[in-house]
Amino acid sequence: MQSTAFTPSSSSSLTPLKPRRLVGSPIYSLPSRFDPIRAFSSSSSKRHDPDSNNAVFPRRSWSLSSASNSSLSRPWNPLVSERKMERFEVKATAVPESAGEGKEKSSLTKTLELGLLFGLWYLFNIYFNIYNKQVLRVFPNPVTITAAQFTVGTVLIAFMWTFNLYKKPKVSGAQLAAILPLAVVHTLGNLFTNMSLGKVAVSFTHTIKAMEPFFSVVLSAMFLGEMPTLWVVGSIIPIVGGVALASVTEASFNWAGFWSAMASNLTNQSRNVLSKKVMVKKEESMDNITLFSIITIMSLVLLAPVTIFMEGVKFTPAYLQSAGLNVKEVYTRAFLAALCFHAYQQVSYMILQRVSPVTHSVGNCVKRVVVIVSSVLFFKTPVSPINSFGTGIALAGVFLYSRVKRIKPKPKTA
């Protein structure tokens, strides 16, 4: 068989190497299996017989002249390089077998993180109510206590912003004007809650605060035009009935504590209505934690002069000593109560960023049950069977409300 041999010349110019059909070279038939690489190369390196399926393949032979010219003596084949690149890309995009395990681990991590947040939310709330009640028993000045709690929260926020633990926001005057109504009702809501906790048992205060869905439905219908469905109205009935039954049989009942808790419900639900009615679009870009931080600072600014006007400056060591109180004990419990107060609200907003409002509402219902039970056990509050039954009905109504709230009415057809 005849073949052609090429030897690269050492001259500066190299003539392009072109395969030629050799006289007397054998004819090869195409294999029965289709090869896309060979089919593609046939357009440039082989010739077809138009009357048959035979093709003539040129045969190449290379000889290396020297080691220094080895790079030039290697024929470059773009088809091979593309083939290698194609194989590389397939390997790069291949999904490893452990990808499913990674997703499961990620989902498990998120579930554990959410469970930890719920646990902290309940724990901080329990300790806030216990320490707060202990302080209000010996120092019945709810305005001063509320201002102290906002002060501790403001210091914590300033600490986070100063050391970049959380990004400091840039707030415009229009945004502050929109947030001001929310800060006002937030201040009043916490103030009324402390006033109620100072007058009645913790369990009774939270039983009355189970009436929040009732005020939410009424205010939404009055100011937003959102009419409740029959399911929502049905869930409100056991809430009202349970609170009424628990109030009649409550051993620590007094009207000041009752109406303070009711006022707290009204102001807290007004905040939800105002957030839909008043808030400007620019403010909506804020996350919940930033909004809560700004509201806390504004609440301190609003309540500080009111505290001095209504109760004076009484939270001093000299005043506490003159009242026969243990200064260190009162300060420690007041600080822990304020710390837990800010922490549980911060964690509540963190949970709200991770779950739906319905899930958060159910979690809030469970939190109220946990707080009521823990306070009864800690303070050994006397509870009658009828009182427990009324509280249970009210909390069951709250849970039912959180479930039926997401049932939307069917659109009316003409």
Spatial distance between the Cα atoms of 282 and 292, rounded to a whole number of angstroms: 16
pLDDT of residue 124: 96
Closest C-alpha among 342, 351, 355 to residue 116: 351
Taking the C-alpha atoms of 224, 396, 263 and 189 in order, what is their torsion angle to the nearest 10 degrees? -80
C-alpha triplet 344, 346, 351: angle, nearest 5°: 90
The sign one gets for the Cα dihedral 248, 253, 256, 260 is negative
Both 140 and 287 in one domain: the answer is yes
Amino acid at 181: P
Q: Of 34, 58, 82, which one is at a domain's C-terminal end?
A: 58
Selected residue with higher pLDDT from 27 and 226: 226
Residues 277 and 384 in one domain: yes
Q: How many domains does the chain have?
A: 2
Task: Work out the average pLDDT over 211-230.
Answer: 86
Residue 358 covered by a domain: yes
pLDDT tens string 333-388? 999 999 999 999 989 888 888 887 778 888 888 899 999 999 999 999 988 899 99
Is the same domain home to 196 and 287? Answer: yes
Average pLDDT, the chain: 78
Kindly state whether residue 9 falls inside one of the protein's structural domains: no
Shared domain for 223 and 350, answered yes or no, is yes
Is residue 85 domain-resident?
Answer: no
Q: Is residue 105 part of a domain?
A: no
Cα-based distances in Å from 205 to 37, 156, 260, 368, 392: 81, 28, 9, 10, 14
Range of the domain at 152: 124-404
pLDDT at residue 244, as a whole number: 93
170 and 38, same domain (yes or no): no
Q: Is residue 163 part of a domain?
A: yes
Q: Is the pLDDT of residue 409 over 90?
A: no
- Type of residue at 90: V
Cβ burial 57-85 (10 Å sphere, 16+ → b, else e): beeeeeeeeeeeeeeeeeeeeeeeeeeee
In a domain, 138, yes or no: yes
For residue 218, tell me if it sits in a domain: yes
What was the pLDDT predicted at 410? Answer: 61
Q: Which helix (H) or strand (E) holds 237?
A: helix 230-248
Write down the H helix ranges in 93-222.
Answer: 99-138, 142-162, 173-199, 202-208, 212-219
Residue for token pair 């986070």: 160
109 in a structural domain: no
> What pLDDT was estimated at residue 90?
42
Of residues 356, 196, 325, 326, the one with CA closest to residue 261: 196
Q: What is d(CA 336, CA 88) in angstroms, rounded to the nearest whole number?
A: 60
Indicate whether 243 and 346 sit together in one domain. yes
* DSSP H or E run through 54: strand 54-56
Whether residue 319 sits in one domain with residue 226: yes
Residues 234 and 386: beta-carbon distance below 8 Å: no
pLDDT at 169 (0 to 100): 86
**Token pair 């082989």 in the structure block, residue:** 46
Has this prediction a pTM greater than 0.75? no
Q: Give, in degrees to the nearest 5, the angle at Cα 309 between 193 and 326.
A: 65
The per-residue pLDDT for range 301-343, each reduced to its tens digit, is 999 999 999 988 888 899 999 989 999 999 999 999 999 999 9
Q: Which residues pair with 62 in a beta bridge?
A: 6
CA distance linking residue 385 with residue 391, whole number of Å: 10
Residues 31 and 157 grouped into a single domain: no
Dihedrals φ, ψ of 47, to 5°? -120, 140
